[in-house]
């Protein structure tokens, strides 16, 4: 389904009085805010195709109704999100879950919904029905050359699907590792993985990037062959200039200083992209900003500082993607919440007085440094983000409009009550 434009306009005009008061007050108080609005309008966050259905947890699936039944439905859902918030103008696909039967048709559909294709994801962490060799003991690291060959070829096939759609990057996340000491020779596993990645790298079109995603543990619980940012950076460095590290916020050991990791990866020109989510324990894949909004802000603070230092374009030079999924909320409302949290953290980090911070750092005024950051983080930037939505032709209050228009009920009427989206 699509939202009729007049519905959005009507919703906005109902909220306009209140919004105008809030935004004019905000702009009066924050003289730098004017320039921020356009940056917010330009900033787009890719929605993962696998987050549109209920599920994603490991122990059971409790399907909601009206979930997408195929790739077309998934794009339609993201199109809806983008109509509502103006900031979800991209999608990240997972192969084989999202193999397009007709790439041209899918590309046109995405174009008509104003959606771009962000990174393609390969999948060598599950065995597929028609697959010859098993990934039980790894894929790109596997001791058997046949398994490695199959995994390499799968990745090359994913690149081809991506090319047909106009994507420009491939994310490789490997479940490869070991569950018990002695199971694996670390050095050899690393070397085989690197050799395999080299073959995939060689198949990249000239204007493509490859993102090497790391993860501390799970499904392997003793070692993971791309287990942390150091290992990912090693692979990315050895592979070459088209290879980068991808940071998934849930993939660190507890209390890791992710903002520092991000800062150094950027400094090395090796940060490629993000999987946003939030967590309390591990790779919980919860809604971005639902638990640690200050951490999200501190990460964005480093991103903005580092990208500006390198003259990078915030909107286009990194892959901004969500990787979240769970069982208990309407997935579309959940994604609206994630995007809102990301936009807020971004807006707050744009408000940081960098000149003042630099000066305070030079004289070790630690309290003032903290004040400057917290002042930005404690600013209620919701009017600013809402104003960006208004200018993009989206809704002032996306979730309220989603509910007023009974979108979920309409999706259930269209697709049925018992639907199972493909994917995890
Ligand atoms: C797995 O933990 C990773 O976050 C990957 O990004 C994965 O491809 C994605 O979560 C879909 O399962
Ligand atoms: Zn991820
Ligand atoms: Zn994650
Ligand atoms: Zn993950």
Q: One digit per residue, pLDDT tens: the chain, 424 residues?
A: 999 999 999 999 999 999 999 999 999 999 889 899 999 999 999 999 999 987 655 677 777 899 999 999 999 999 999 999 999 999 999 999 999 999 999 999 999 999 999 999 999 999 999 999 999 999 999 999 999 999 999 999 999 999 999 999 999 999 999 999 999 999 999 999 999 999 999 999 999 999 999 999 999 999 999 999 999 999 999 999 999 999 999 999 999 999 999 999 999 999 999 999 999 999 999 999 999 999 999 999 999 999 999 999 999 999 999 999 888 899 999 999 999 999 999 999 999 999 999 999 999 999 999 999 999 999 999 999 999 999 999 999 999 999 999 999 999 999 998 776 555 5
What residues are in contact with ligand 1 under a 6 Å CB criterion? 50, 94, 121, 173, 213, 215, 248, 275, 283, 323, 424
Ligand 4 centroid vs 309 CA: distance in angstroms? 29
Nearest to 103 by CA among 67, 73, 69, 71: 71
DSSP-assigned letter for residue 94: B
Ligand 3 centroid vs 322 CA: distance in angstroms? 9
Ranges of each domain in the chain: 44-346
Ligand 2 centroid vs 192 CA: distance in angstroms? 22
Cis peptide before 189 (omega within 30 of 0): no
Ligand 3 centroid vs 319 CA: distance in angstroms? 15
ipTM: 0.98
Q: Which ligand is nearest to the CA of 275?
A: 2
In a mutational test of the pocket of ligand 1, which residue from 174, 217, 221, 248 has the highest number of ligand atoms less than 8 Å from its CB? 248
Nearest to 222 by CA among 113, 318, 138, 280: 138
| Verdict on whether the full-model pTM lies above 0.95 | yes
Q: Within 310-381, where are the H helices?
A: 331-351, 354-362, 366-377
The length of the chain, given as a count of residues: 424
CA 121 to ligand 1: nearest atom: 8
Q: Which ligand is nearest to the CA of 250?
A: 3
Right CATH for 44-346 from 3.60.15.10, 3.20.20.70, 3.40.50.800, 3.20.20.150: 3.20.20.150
10 Å CB burial of residue 319 (0-12, 13-18, 19+) is buried
Cis peptide before 96 (omega within 30 of 0): yes
Task: Quote the CA–CA distance of 242 and 209 in Å, as a whole number.
Answer: 5
CA 56 to ligand 1: nearest atom: 12
Ligand 3 centroid vs 423 CA: distance in angstroms? 15
């Amino acid at each position: 389904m699509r939202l009729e434009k007049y519905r959005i306009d009507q919703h906005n005009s109902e909220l306009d009085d209140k919004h105008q008061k809030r935004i004019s007050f905000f702009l009066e108080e924050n003289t730098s805010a004017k320039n921020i609005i356009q940056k917010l309008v330009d900033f787009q966050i890719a929605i993962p195709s696998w987050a549109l259905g209920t599920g994603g947890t490991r122990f059971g699936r409790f399907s909601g109704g009206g979930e997408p039944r195929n790739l077309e439905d998934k794009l339609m859902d993201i199109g809806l999100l983008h109509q509502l918030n103006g900031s979800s103008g991209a999608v990240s696909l997972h192969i084989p879950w999202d193999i397009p039967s007709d790439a041209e048709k899918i590309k046109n559909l995405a174009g008509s919904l104003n959606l771009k294709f962000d990174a393609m994801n390969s999948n060598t962490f599950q065995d597929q029905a028609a697959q010859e060799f098993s990934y039980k003991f790894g894929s790109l690291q596997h001791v058997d050359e046949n398994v490695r060959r199959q995994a390499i070829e799968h990745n090359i096939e994913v690149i081809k699907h991506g090319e047909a759609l106009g994507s420009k990057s491939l994310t490789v996340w490997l479940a490869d590792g070991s569950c018990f000491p002695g199971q694996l020779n670390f050095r050899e596993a690393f070397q085989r993985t690197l050799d395999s990645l080299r073959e995939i790298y060689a198949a990249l079109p000239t204007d493509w990037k490859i993102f090497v995603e790391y993860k501390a543990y799970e499904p392997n619980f003793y070692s993971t062959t791309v287990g942390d940012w150091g290992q990912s950076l090693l692979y990315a460095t050895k592979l070459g200039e088209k290879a980068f590290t991808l940071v998934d916020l849930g993939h660190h050991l507890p209390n890791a200083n992710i903002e520092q990791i991000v800062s150094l990866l950027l400094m090395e020109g090796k940060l490629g992209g993000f999987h946003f989510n939030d967590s309390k324990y591990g790779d919980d894949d919860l809604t971005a900003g639902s638990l640690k909004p200050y951490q999200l802000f501190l990460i964005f603070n480093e991103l903005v500082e580092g990208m500006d230092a390198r003259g990078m374009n915030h909107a286009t030079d990194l892959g901004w993607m969500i990787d979240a999924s769970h069982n208990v909320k309407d997935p579309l409302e959940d994604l609206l919440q994630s995007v809102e949290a990301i936009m807020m953290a971004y807006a707050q980090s744009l408000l940081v007085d960098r000149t003042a911070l630099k000066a305070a750092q030079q004289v070790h005024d630690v309290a003032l440094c903290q004040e400057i950051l917290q002042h930005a983080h404690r600013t209620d930037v919701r009017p600013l983000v809402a104003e960006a939505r208004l200018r993009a032709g989206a809704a002032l209050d996306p979730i309220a409009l989603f509910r007023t228009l009974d979108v979920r009920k309409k999706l259930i009427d269209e697709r049925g009550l018992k639907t199972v989206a493909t994917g995890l």
